[in-house]
């Protein structure tokens, strides 16, 4: 086999999911998504959380925040507004679901800028944030696409054409129920919908920027693109809600949502 062919074969055999992992050559330090949003976009929502909540439930956060999980445990306080910080502590066990809050967004290209920290109150603190459209059929609960931060890595996921597509979800569930390995074609398909990079979580404040532009999604931390991926679901024409899913504890001090178009 000649060298060209060997290289080509190596390229073709490389796992698809790793091909679009963050490449510093493609995103030099001068590429700044917060700047892109400010320059090209319109600020459609801003919440600095400088107020006190009006009651116990997650809907008491005010300023248009809603929660699909608040009514499961109305007696437990899962969101506390304290000194300009939204402190989320999920009653995951009691509610049978991680705390979920969302706010209207409404863009095709654009994104969110979030100041957050893991307070270090629990092990395995994680944060999933992204976009939802419950008005489009064929997607479980309208889940479109997400950035997911765990203690050891950060992922981007196209759920719309991946694990939350109703046909894919149903087929996958049959194997999960039987505790069987996914068939190769399904496994390979799902791997193209998600990319992951290693990351070490800490308890500092960070500025997170999550954007979609065409079929690309990018996640930046403190001014640098950490991970990006291209997948057809990211191009969904209507990111109707911006949502947080918090299984444990997370503090958020500022949220901005920008529409580029």
Identify which of residues 53 and 253 has a Cβ nearer to Ca ion in the complex.
253
Lookup result for tokens 């997370």:
250
Among the candidate windows 76-84, 187-195, 208-216, 220-228, which touches Ca ion by CB under 5 A?
Answer: 76-84
Among the candidate windows 82-90, 141-149, 177-185, 235-243, which touches Ca ion by CB under 5 A?
Answer: 82-90
Contact mark string toward Ca ion, 83..122, x via CB under 5 A: -x--------------------------------------
**Position 48 contacts Ca ion (CB under 5 A):** yes
Sheet of strand 99-107: strand arrangement: 99-107, 239-246, 127-132, 143-149, 153-158, 194-198
Shortest spacing between CB 48 and Ca ion, in angstroms: 4
Shortest spacing between CB 85 and Ca ion, in angstroms: 6
Q: Are 209 and 227 in contact (CB under 8 A)?
A: no
Give the interface size with Ca ion as a residue count (CB under 5 A).
Answer: 4
CB atoms within 10 A of CB 116: 24
Contact mark string toward Ca ion, 234..253, x via CB under 5 A: -------------------x
Tokens of 128: 């999933």
Of 111, 95, 101, 122, the C-alpha closest to 49 is: 101
Shortest spacing between CB 83 and Ca ion, in angstroms: 8
Identify which of residues 51 and 134 has a Cβ nearer to Ca ion in the complex.
51
Contact mark string toward Ca ion, 7..46, x via CB under 5 A: ----------------------------------------
**Position 62 contacts Ca ion (CB under 5 A):** no
82-86: list long-range contacts, CB under 8 Å, 24+ apart. Answer: 84/48, 84/49, 84/50, 84/253, 85/49, 85/251, 85/252, 85/253, 86/49, 86/61, 86/251, 86/252, 86/253
CB atoms within 10 A of CB 206: 15
Identify which of residues 114 and 164 has a Cβ nearer to Ca ion in the complex.
114
Give the footprint of Ca ion on this chain (CB under 5 A): 48-49, 84, 253
């Amino acid at each position: 086999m000649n060298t060209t062919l060997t290289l080509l074969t190596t390229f073709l055999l490389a796992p698809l999911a790793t091909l679009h992992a963050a490449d510093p050559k493609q995103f030099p330090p001068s590429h700044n998504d917060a700047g892109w949003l400010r320059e090209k976009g319109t600020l459609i929502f801003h919440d600095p959380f400088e107020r006190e909540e009006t009651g116990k439930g997650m809907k008491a956060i005010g300023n248009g925040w809603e929660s699909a999980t608040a009514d499961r445990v109305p007696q437990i306080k899962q969101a506390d507004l304290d000194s300009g910080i939204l402190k989320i502590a999920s009653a995951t066990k009691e509610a049978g679901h991680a705390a979920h809050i969302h706010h209207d967004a409404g863009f095709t290209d654009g994104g969110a800028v979030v100041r957050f920290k893991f307070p270090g109150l629990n092990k395995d603190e994680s944060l999933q944030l992204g976009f939802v459209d419950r008005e489009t059929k064929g997607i479980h609960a309208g889940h479109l696409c997400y950035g997911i931060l765990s203690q050891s890595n950060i992922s981007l996921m196209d759920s719309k054409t991946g694990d939350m597509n109703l046909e894919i979800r149903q087929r996958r569930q049959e194997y999960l129920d039987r505790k069987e390995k996914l068939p190769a074609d399904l496994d390979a398909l799902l791997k193209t919908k998600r990319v992951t990079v290693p990351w070490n979580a800490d308890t500092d404040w960070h500025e997170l920027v999550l954007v979609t532009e065409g079929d690309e999604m990018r996640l930046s931390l403190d001014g640098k693109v950490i991970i990006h991926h291209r997948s057809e679901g990211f191009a969904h024409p209507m990111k109707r809600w911006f949502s947080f899913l918090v299984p444990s504890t997370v503090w958020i001090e500022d949220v901005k949502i920008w529409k580029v178009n």
